[in-house]
């Protein structure tokens, strides 16, 4: 799938917060990285954190992310 950018805005949201999500799709799974806006933290900083986490995942080349790795069952 080619790179894709989607922007969604909700006029009737229950909060003024924002969220930034990066999805990395591979043949067998989709790894999702998410950052939620924080009071006093610029949206650009939240996005930079999420992008850094996604880049770190891609650089390692592991088949799953660090938060899923401890949930795998290895057949014996």
Q: Domain count for the chain, please give it.
A: 1
pLDDT-derived band at 6 (thresholds 50, 70, 90) equals confident
pTM, two decimals, is 0.73
Is the residue at 73 inside a domain?
no
Question: What pLDDT was estimated at residue 59?
Answer: 94
Q: Is 37 exposed, middle or buried (0-12, 13-18, 19+ CB in 10 A)?
A: middle
- Domain of 41 in residue numbering reads as 22-60
Is residue 30 in some structural domain? yes
30-48: average pLDDT = 90
| β-bridge mates for residue 22, sequence order | 33
Report how far residue 60's alpha carbon sits from residue 51's, in angstroms, rounded to the nearest whole number. Answer: 14
């Amino acid at each position: 799938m080619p790179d894709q950018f989607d922007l969604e805005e909700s006029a009737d949201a229950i909060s003024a917060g924002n969220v930034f999500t990066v999805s990395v799709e591979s043949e067998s799974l989709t790894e999702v990285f998410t950052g939620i806006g924080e009071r006093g933290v610029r949206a650009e900083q939240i996005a930079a954190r999420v992008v850094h986490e996604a880049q770190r995942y891609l650089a390692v080349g592991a088949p799953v992310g660090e938060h899923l790795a401890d949930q795998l069952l290895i057949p014996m």
